[in-house]
Amino acid sequence: MTYCVAVRVDQGLVMLSDTRTNAGMDNIARFRKSFTYSVPGERAITMMCSGNLSITQGVKAMLSRAIKDAALDPDVETILNCSTMHRVAQIVGEAMCTMQGRYRSTIEMQGAAADASILIAGQRRGGKPRLYLIYSAGNFIEATEDTPFFQIGEHKYGKPILDRIVKRETSLEDATKAVLVSMDSTLRSNLSVGMPLDLTVIERDAYDFRVRTRIEADNEEFQLLSHSWSAALRKGFEDLPNVLD
């Protein structure tokens, strides 16, 4: 399994994913779930994937092939040359639909699940930061002011902190802390989610990545955040009023 979370606030976008896949207790592996695409100064896009790995890898391969083909034929439409972020989501959704149509029935005949989800976040020059959740059928929804974040994979453990903290006016720095705490909570409660983590941050109107980094298990800053959050929770719990006389 995996956990991916993406937040859209007024100041930009924050995306975080783990790297663990689990096909049984004796078959745990690491695969990157976060992929970045950019034309510096024109657009920056992050894609994060959850679900059937063969389906999502196939989607990524289709997107990459189109980008390579466009280098030789500028008429080929790709996520790096299309007109809007909405069209980016459509292109990814079309690739998802193609992969599902090609392999879903045979995958399910073998007793495996073919469902997959993809988060697409980015901004192109002339447009606003956008965040989309793409489903297995290729249809998608967009994050709004009322729902400024999306999660895919093992989302339940990391949702409470996002519900309490993330609003459209939340700073990019606080949004980044919130997704890291959300991931830390998930890591503690679910063995199917694991390090290392991939973090990307896109600042509004920069059209490039402010942060694009991998966080390993021995990362001192992440360890400090984790320990500080645990201490704050313990202190908050101790300060609660007693309910028994």
Which residue matches tokens 């999306």?
Answer: 150
Contact of 125 with 41, CB cutoff 8 Å:
yes
Phi, psi of 230 (to 5 degrees): -60, -45
In a domain, 244, yes or no: no
DSSP 118: E
Structural domain count of the chain = 1
**pLDDT averaged over every residue in the chain:** 96
Does 129 score more than 70 pLDDT?
A: yes
Q: What is the pLDDT of residues 63-115, one digit of tens each?
A: 999 999 999 999 999 999 999 999 999 999 999 999 999 999 999 999 999 99
In a domain, 243, yes or no: no
Could you tell me which of 47, 83, 26 has the C-alpha nearest to residue 212?
47
In a domain, 165, yes or no: yes
Predicted TM-score (pTM) of the model is: 0.95
In a domain, 75, yes or no: yes
pLDDT of residue 135: 98
pLDDT of residue 26: 63
pLDDT of residue 29: 81
Domain range for 218: 3-238
In a domain, 51, yes or no: yes
- Band the pLDDT of 27: cuts 50, 70, 90: low
Structure tokens at 79: 């996520």
Contact of 166 with 5, CB cutoff 8 Å:
no
In a domain, 97, yes or no: yes
Phi, psi of 124 (to 5 degrees): -115, 155
pLDDT of residue 192: 85
Q: What is the mean pLDDT of residues 4-11?
A: 98
Structure tokens at 129: 């930061």
